[in-house]
Amino acid sequence: MNSEHEILLGNIAQDYYLSNLSISDISKKYSISRYLILKYLDEARSTGLVSINIHTIYQRNDELEQRLINMFPIKNLYILKNPTNPAERDDLASTFAAYQIQAAIKNAHVVGLSWGDMIFSTLNKFRPTQQDDLVFTQFLGENMKYHSLTGSTRMVQRAAVNYNAPYFTIPGPLYILNKDVRKQLAKEPSMEKAFEHAKKMDMIISSVGTLDSIEANQPWYDNIDKIFPGVDLDKIAGMVFARPYDINGQFLIDEKDSTAFSAPLENILNVSRRFGIVTRKSKTNAVLGALRGGFFTDLITTESIALKILKELDKE
């Protein structure tokens, strides 16, 4: 690069990055086409004349992200570095998740939500906004946490309030053993609208669970063999969309035998954007199974979980 060309690149870069001049203004200033201005800005960066540092509280591990993306069928993976203060982990993760999810919602019309502490925290970080032609809906029955802020219905309500948008709920339990009751209940007026909108979902916000979430609910624990007929409970690595799956990302129950009061699994997995948020290390095997199964198109998780996944893979 000759000195005159380097000076020109430096001047253009200063005008653009420091003086905030538009491409059009710079083009007029130097009597150079817009195409060449853009070309010179790229050249200034590629040659090291310009370096850009992004200072943010959300430090991501790019190397880990790329390694896992190359290994699993997932489009977007966000791995947040462990903060200096571990107590800040969930707060930083939920703030980051809220930003990413709200950016995606701009292109959505029907958003389905499940439940959980991280989803609750993420929705709490949503910025109020207005978006026409947007609906929030449940696509699964209630987790029966009726006295909890993280219950299913409250998730949908909380999200909708931020957008001043309508929402639809499924006021029925997550699992219903009687097949005929499941079918007929879905046709009740209080449920029908939610199930109809669930068919049109173009985005889902969810997480993964473990068998502990089932065992913590007494009625489900007492009937777990009926809820998961023929399933070897020891093989359950995680729970997603109310269905159990193993470490290899294989669902352990055939859909025709599923007792979940839910939108069909096929419909759920065909939703174009499926966001998952997981920060607890105790869910590492659940995350590994979810990655192998391709349950999410977008996953927000932590460096600790990612490193633990790599250790698990080394053991295999």
Q: What is the pLDDT of residues 64-92, one digit of tens each?
A: 999 999 999 999 999 999 877 777 888 88
- Report CA 186 to chain centroid distance, whole Å: 27
Q: Which domain holds residue 249?
A: 62-315
- Shared domain for 38 and 77, answered yes or no, is no
Q: What are the helix and strand counts (H, E) for the chain?
A: 15, 9
What 3-state class would DSSP assign to 220? helix
What 3-state class would DSSP assign to 316? coil
Tokens 């999200």 sit at which residue? 159
Residue 245 lies in a domain: yes
Count of the separate structural domains present in the chain: 2
- Residue 243's pLDDT is 97
- Shared domain for 207 and 172, answered yes or no, is yes
- Shared domain for 162 and 289, answered yes or no, is yes
Q: What is the pLDDT of residues 48-61, one digit of tens each?
A: 888 776 555 568 89
pLDDT of residue 223 exceeding 60: yes
- Shared domain for 11 and 129, answered yes or no, is no
- Shared domain for 126 and 245, answered yes or no, is yes
Q: What is the pLDDT of residues 3-29, one digit of tens each?
A: 788 888 988 988 888 888 889 889 999
Within 10 angstroms of residue 257's Cβ, the number of other Cβ atoms is 11
- CATH classification at residue 30: 1.10.10
Write the DSSP string, 120-140: HHHHHTPPP---SS-EEEE-B
- CATH classification at residue 270: 3.40.50.1360
- Shared domain for 149 and 248, answered yes or no, is yes
- Residue 2's pLDDT is 73
- Shared domain for 22 and 166, answered yes or no, is no
Q: Whole-number mean pLDDT of the chain?
A: 90
User: For residue 24, what are its two tokens?
Assistant: 């059009």
pLDDT of residue 151 exceeding 80: no
